[in-house]
Amino acid sequence: MEGDGSDSLVTIKNIERELICPACKELFTHPLILPCQHSICHKCVKELLLTLDDSFNDMGSDNSNQGSPRLRLPSPSVDKIDRLNRPASQRRSLGWRGWKRNSLTPRTTTFPCPGCEHDVDLGERGINGLFRNFTLETIVERYRQAARAATAIMCDLCKPPPQESTKSCMDCSASYCNECFKIYHPWGTVKAQHEYVGPTTNFRPKILMCPEHEMERINMYCELCRRPVCHLCKLGGNHSNHRVSTMSSAYKTLKEKLSKDIDYLIGKESQVKSQISELNLLMKETECNGERAKEDAITHFEKLFEILEERKSSVLKAIDASKKLRLDKFQTQMEEYQGLLENNGLVGYAQEVLKETDQSCFVQTAKQLHLRIQKATESLKSFRPAAQTSFEDYVVNTSKQTELLGELSFFSSGIDVPEINEEQSKVYNNALINWYHPEKDKADSYVLEYRKINRDEEMLSWNEVEVCGTSKVISELESNSNYAFRVRAYKGSICSPCSRELILHTPPAPVFSFLFDEKCGYNNEHLLLNLKRDRVESRAGFNLLLAAERIQVGYYTSLDYIIGDVGITKGKHFWAFRVEPYSYLVKAGVASSDKLQEWLRSPRDAVSPRYEQDSGHDSGSEDACFDSSQPFTLVTIGMKKFFIPKSPTSSKESENRVLPMPTSIGVFLDYDKGKVGFYDMDHMKCLYERQVDCSHTMYPAFALMGSGGIHLEEPITAKYLEYQEDM
């Protein structure tokens, strides 16, 4: 390079961070240029690739020891760990060195760049297809020389001890002292024509060769890939359809752009300095304002402490006064009863008086004595403590104040309170909370708080989740529990008050995931199943009309059954579904495998007077064997109504057994206890519950007649939330 580095406005010692490898955090050693234009040491590339291979081999082995780390270099990001955890088949599909020797598919190597943390494709040749960054190498060498200053480069060919070198041959890639240089570069030989420079350890080739075509010189620049190429790369290689320019043209263009940008930065040096000064002032101002804010906060808290101390003192004084008054009453009463003990002599005296036989003398003496005896007797008959021992009226209720103190925050009337949308918020396997906020006061972020409502404990702490949008999915909630949710908005460091709390009740058991079975008993002439198999519709068409003609001769239209594709053999499970409002007749519940085989092989008449599926038997008497456990339970839903089946405990009047159809209906099956319940999902309220025989595998069962539709509730996940936002 021309010129001296000391003449530059930016000295070589100020660019150290530009010369650090992002992988090993040391000065570059033989840096390679990745396709993303970041540089990395040659040894770091090899070690990272070996690390990836070793990690995949360890993860693919069942007997691998996960406790012994194999990584010699840390993965650049958490996303890389996720990529390492992919199965082998998926890694091969993504290009993770999944190439076989006899495969016709070209080998590709995907490499995680530690500079930009993106995966880059190294192509078929891998690291052999990367260019060395000779320019960066030269700058690193100059930096090293400036750093070690007086440290000399020794001759590579001297006998021990080596002498200090005076020249370095770029053709031989070695350093020589004067004597060795004359010996190995004699006059009149080809070596005498070698290019030599001052002592250096950075040897770069005179001509840059193509890494893909090792015998070809680099003479073009691919503008699409932004890398030098040779003419073979352009003629028949990977760059045949790319736009290229001559190397001299690319050199001139890039140098002009770089020089122009450098001149711009140098010209703005005074502006940058003034901005730095401004930032220093802002830092000092921030520090002063922060200290002032702390002092104001301390003042407010000290006022609160004073109020609390004053209230504490008055409350304690009131308790002490009440205690003293009660103790005085007890003392007085105790003295009265102590006097009764002293009246034992009075009783003896009265007994002696009773011995008097003269009537006049007896009456004269006994009248006053009787008054005294009567008073003592009344005290014994009506014993009541003079005061209460309980101080229930003096218990300090601080629940509201504690909650208010817990909400204590920086408040600004400029931020409106966000409101939770109760219609769009719901709970299933997880809780989905939606809220809205005025656009004019749109906040930077929100904090969603939630906690379990436990009657046994007075106060449970709030869990906080920071959210950037206006909805959030909360997972890992306990079953059959009430949870309170509230949200507050943040704009900078200013916080709005909390919204009104929303109470949601979680399902009584973990959510059971299944789809409609399109094979077992599915009648595609009457039922229409969507591709996702979570929605089924009944076709009330010509086939149903033909079947209805049999009513004239005593036959009845049959139900079309469809079941879940997963059975239940143990535990507690919960699932939910929606019935379309236009549905005429839908039955839903659970049925055992043997009962389903009976239905699907020989379907019965649905409206036969001697067959009612809700009762669990084929007898015409509803109460004949209701108490006996049956292998199925189905409830009837239709015409926007929910019909509670007949039972000894239910009302005999049919009007009281008809409820409005819930928006979503839940089914709770306790297989171990043999119990099934039907819930209103909007309020998580049990509408109907009964015993069921679970001696066989139980399946979610549904049946339709006439026009109708059933839609299984979709589990709430993060993807579900993204889908709702797109909608």
With CA atoms as reference, report the closest residue to 649 among 680, 679, 690: 690
Which pLDDT band, with edges at 50, 70 and 90, does 263 fall under? confident
User: Among all chains, which residue has been given the structure tokens 């680099």?
Assistant: 218
* Least confident among 65-69, 206-210, 474-478, 523-527: 65-69
Q: Higher pLDDT residue, 104 or 34?
A: 34
Least confident of 79-93, 386-400, 536-550, 568-582: 79-93
Residue 220 clears pLDDT 70, i.e. is over it? yes
Mean pLDDT of 321-348: 79
- Which amino acid, one-letter code, is at 308? L
Q: What is the average per-residue pLDDT within 700-715?
A: 91
Q: What is the pLDDT of residue 491?
A: 80
Give how far the C-alpha of residue 635 lies from the chain's centroid of Cα atoms, to the nearest Å: 37
Give pLDDT tens digits for 233-258. 888 777 888 888 888 888 888 888 88
Label residue 506 by pLDDT band (50, 70, 90): very high
Q: Identify the sign of the CA torsion 397, 399, 402, 407.
A: negative
Cα–Cα distance for residue pair 548/557, rounded to 1 Å: 6
At residue 412, the pLDDT reads 54
Cα 199 to its chain centre, rounded Å, is: 59
**Per-residue model confidence as pLDDT tens digits over 605-639:** 444 433 444 443 333 333 434 445 688 889 999 99
Q: H helices of 354-487, where?
A: 359-381, 399-406
Q: What is the pLDDT of residue 628?
A: 52
pLDDT at 591 over 90: yes
Instruction: Look at 305-309, 381-385, 542-546 and tell me which has the smallest mean pLDDT.
Output: 542-546
Please state the rounded mean pLDDT for residues 32-45. 86
Range in 305-314, 396-405, 419-428, 435-444 the model is least confident about: 435-444
Angle 114-115-118 (CA atoms, 0-180°, nearest 5)?
70
Q: How confident is the model at residue 210 (pLDDT cuts 50, 70, 90)?
A: confident
Superfamily of domain 12-53+107-151 in the CATH hierarchy: Zinc/RING finger domain, C3HC4 (zinc finger) (3.30.40.10)
pLDDT at 181: 86
pLDDT mean over 678-706 = 91
pLDDT at 214 over 80: no
Helix (H) or strand (E) holding 143: helix 134-148
pLDDT at 409: 66
Q: Which amino acid is at 616?
A: G
pLDDT in tens, 267-307: 888 888 888 888 898 899 889 888 988 898 899 889 989 98
Cα three-residue angle 598-579-568, rounded to 5 degrees: 45
Considering the domain delimited by 423-506, tell me its CATH architecture.
Sandwich (2.60)
More confident residue, 347 or 317: 317
* CA distance linking residue 155 with residue 174, whole number of Å: 8
Per the CB < 8 A criterion, the answer to whether 133 and 42 are in contact is: no
Average of pLDDT values for 214-241? 83
- Please state, rounded to an integer, the average pLDDT across all residues of the chain: 77
The CATH H-level (homologous superfamily) assignment of domain 508-550+557-602+628-647+655-720 is SPRY domain (2.60.120.920)
Centre a 10 Å sphere on the Cβ of residue 505 and count the other Cβ atoms it contains: 16
What band does 649 get if pLDDT is binned at 50, 70 and 90?
A: low
Dmax (CA) for the chain in angstroms is: 172
Q: How confident is the model at residue 84 (pLDDT cuts 50, 70, 90)?
A: very low
| Interval 155-173: pLDDT, tens | 888 888 888 888 888 878 8
Give residue 379's pLDDT band: very low, low, confident or very high (50, 70, 90).
low
Q: How confident is the model at residue 266 (pLDDT cuts 50, 70, 90)?
A: confident
Helix (H/G/I), strand (E/B), else coil: 605: strand
Please enumerate in sequence order all residues whose Cβ is within 8 A of that of 503, keeping only pairs 6 or more positions apart, or say none.
Answer: 453, 482, 483, 484, 485
Confidence check: pLDDT of 376 > 50: yes
Helix (H) or strand (E) holding 432: strand 431-436
For 595-607, how does the pLDDT look when each residue is reduced to its tens digit (9 = 90+)? 888 877 655 444 4
Least confident of 165-179, 271-285, 476-490, 676-690: 165-179
Q: Where are the domains of the chain?
A: 12-53+107-151, 249-380, 423-506, 508-550+557-602+628-647+655-720
Cα→Cα distances 336→271, 340, 386, Å: 97, 7, 11
What HEC string does 58-97 produce? HHHCCCCCCCCCCCCCCCCCHHHHHHHCCCHHHHHHCCEC
Q: Which of 165-169, 363-367, 492-496 has the lowest mean pLDDT?
A: 492-496
Task: State the Cα–Cα distance between residues 167 and 554, nearest whole angstrom.
Answer: 115
Query: Own/partner pairs for 7-14, CB < 8 Å, 24+ apart?
Result: 9/266, 9/269, 12/139, 12/142, 12/143, 12/146, 13/143, 13/146, 13/147
Q: What is the 3-state secondary structure (H, E, C) of 651-699?
A: CCCHHHHEEECCCCEEEEEECCCCEEEEEECCCCEEEEEEECCCCCCEE
Give me the pLDDT at residue 241, please. 83
Rounded Cα distance, 550 and 543, in Å: 12
- Predicted confidence (pLDDT) at residue 260 exceeds the cutoff of 90: no
Residue written as token pair 């949200």:
487
> According to the model, what pLDDT value does residue 589 have?
95
What is the structure's pLDDT at 545?
Answer: 58
Name which residue leads in pLDDT, 168 or 664: 664
Question: What percent of the chain clears pLDDT 70, i.e. is strictly above it?
Answer: 76
Residue 120 confidence (pLDDT) above 70: yes
Q: What is the pLDDT of residue 371?
A: 78
> What's the average model confidence in pLDDT over 70-86?
40
Least confident of 91-100, 141-150, 194-203, 333-342: 91-100
User: What local confidence, expressed as pLDDT, does residue 160 receive?
Assistant: 81
Contact 541, 673 (CB under 8 A): no
What DSSP line would sit under 243-286, residue for residue? -EEEHHHHHHHHHHHHHHHHHHHHHTHHHHHHHHHHHHHHHHHH
595-598-604 Cα angle (round to 5): 110
